Structure 1
Amino acid sequence: MDRPGFTASLVAGGVAGVSVDLILFPLDTIKTRLQSPQGFNKAGGFHGIYAGVPSAAIGSFPNAAAFFITYDYVKWFLRTDSSSHLMPVKHMLAASAGEVVACLIRVPSEVVKQRAQVSASSRTFQIFSNILYQEGIPGLYRGYKSTVLREIPFSLVQFPLWESLKALWSWRQDHVVESWQSAVCGAFAGGFAAVVTTPLDVAKTRIMLAKARSSTAGGNVLSALHGVWRTQGLPGLFAGVFPRMAAISLGGFIFLGAYDQTHSMLLELGRESP
Structure 2
Amino acid sequence: MSQQQISLPAKLINGGIAGIVGVTCVFPIDLAKTRLQNQRQGQQVYKSMMDCLVKTVRSEGYFGMYRGAAVNLTLVTPEKAIKLAANDFFRHHLAKDGKGLTVFKEMMAGCGAGMCQVVVTTPMEMLKIQLQDAGRLAAQQRKPAPQAVSATQIAKELLHTQGIQGLYKGLGATLMRDVPFSIVYFPLFANLNRLGKPSPEESAPFYWAFLSGCAAGSTAAVAVNPCDVVKTRLQSLNKGSAEEAYDGVLDCVSKIMRKEGPSAFLKGAGCRALVIAPLFGIAQVMYFVGVGEYILDSSPLRLLSA
- CA 90–268 in structure 1, closer or farther in 2 if over 3 Å, else same: farther
Q: Whole-Å Cα distance in 2 between the matches of residues 80 and 12 of structure 1?
A: 26
Q: Could you tell me whether the CA contact under 8 Å between 1:116 and 1:127 is conserved in 2?
A: no
- CA 68–7 in structure 1, closer or farther in 2 if over 3 Å, else same: same
Using the TM superposition, give the Cα deviation of residue 163 of structure 1 relative to its aligned residue in structure 2, in angstroms.
Answer: 0.1
Larger mean CA deviation between 139-148 and 122-131 belongs to 122-131
One-letter amino acid of the structure 2 residue matched with residue 199 of structure 1 = P
Correspondent of 2:208 among 176, 181, 184: 181
One-letter amino acid of the structure 2 residue matched with residue 117 of structure 1 = Q
Partner of 1:69: 85
Larger mean CA deviation between 255-264 and 226-235 belongs to 255-264
One-letter amino acid of the structure 2 residue matched with residue 134 of structure 1 = T
Q: Whole-Å Cα distance in 1 between the matches of residues 44 and 98 of structure 2?
A: 47
Which ranges in structure 2 are unaligned for 5 or more consecutive residues?
Answer: 47-51, 136-145
- CA 266–100 in structure 1, closer or farther in 2 if over 3 Å, else same: farther
One-letter amino acid of the structure 1 residue matched with residue 206 of structure 2 = S
One-letter amino acid of the structure 2 residue matched with residue 147 of structure 1 = T
Q: Whole-Å Cα distance in 2 between the matches of residues 17 and 9 of structure 1?
A: 12
Aligned-partner SS, 2:113: helix
Q: Could you tell me whether the CA contact under 8 Å between 1:63 and 1:106 is conserved in 2?
A: yes
- CA 22–79 in structure 1, closer or farther in 2 if over 3 Å, else same: same
Using the TM superposition, give the Cα deviation of residue 128 of structure 1 relative to its aligned residue in structure 2, in angstroms.
Answer: 2.0
Q: Summarize the alignment of residues 235-254 of structure 1 with structure 2, pairs less than 5 Å apart.
A: 235-254=263-282
Q: Whole-Å Cα distance in 1 between the matches of residues 220 and 84 of structure 2?
A: 18
Q: Could you tell me whether the CA contact under 8 Å between 1:5 and 1:267 is conserved in 2?
A: no
Q: Could you tell me whether the CA contact under 8 Å between 1:157 and 1:193 is conserved in 2?
A: yes
Q: Whole-Å Cα distance in 2 between the matches of residues 194 and 4 of structure 1?
A: 27
Task: Tell me if 1:202 matches 2:229.
Answer: yes
One-letter amino acid of the structure 1 residue matched with residue 212 of structure 2 = C
- CA 268–61 in structure 1, closer or farther in 2 if over 3 Å, else same: closer
Using the TM superposition, give the Cα deviation of residue 26 of structure 1 relative to its aligned residue in structure 2, in angstroms.
Answer: 0.5
- CA 40–81 in structure 1, closer or farther in 2 if over 3 Å, else same: farther
Q: Whole-Å Cα distance in 1 between the matches of residues 204 and 5 of structure 2?
A: 24
Q: Deviations over 1:94-130 (max 9, x none)?
A: 2211121111011111100110101143412222222
One-letter amino acid of the structure 1 residue matched with residue 262 of structure 2 = L
**Percent of counterpart pairs with the same letter?**
26
Partner of 2:32: 30
Q: Deviations over 1:79-107 (max 9, x none)?
A: 236765x4322222222111211110111
- CA 57–73 in structure 1, closer or farther in 2 if over 3 Å, else same: same
Partner of 1:50: 66
Task: Tell me if 1:103 matches 2:118.
Answer: yes
Length-normalised TM-score, structure 1: 0.86
Q: Summarize the alignment of residues 109-148 of structure 1 with structure 2, pairs less than 5 Å apart.
A: 109-120=124-135, 121=146, 122-124=148-150, 125-148=152-175
Using the TM superposition, give the Cα deviation of residue 164 of structure 1 relative to its aligned residue in structure 2, in angstroms.
Answer: 0.3
Aligned-partner SS, 1:123: coil
Partner of 2:104: 89
Partner of 1:17: 19
Larger mean CA deviation between 164-173 and 61-70 belongs to 164-173
The structure number with the bigger radius of gyration is: 2
One-letter amino acid of the structure 1 residue matched with residue 130 of structure 2 = R
Q: Whole-Å Cα distance in 1 between the matches of residues 84 and 176 of structure 2?
A: 19
- CA 16–119 in structure 1, closer or farther in 2 if over 3 Å, else same: same
Q: Whole-Å Cα distance in 2 between the matches of residues 4 and 239 of structure 1?
A: 39
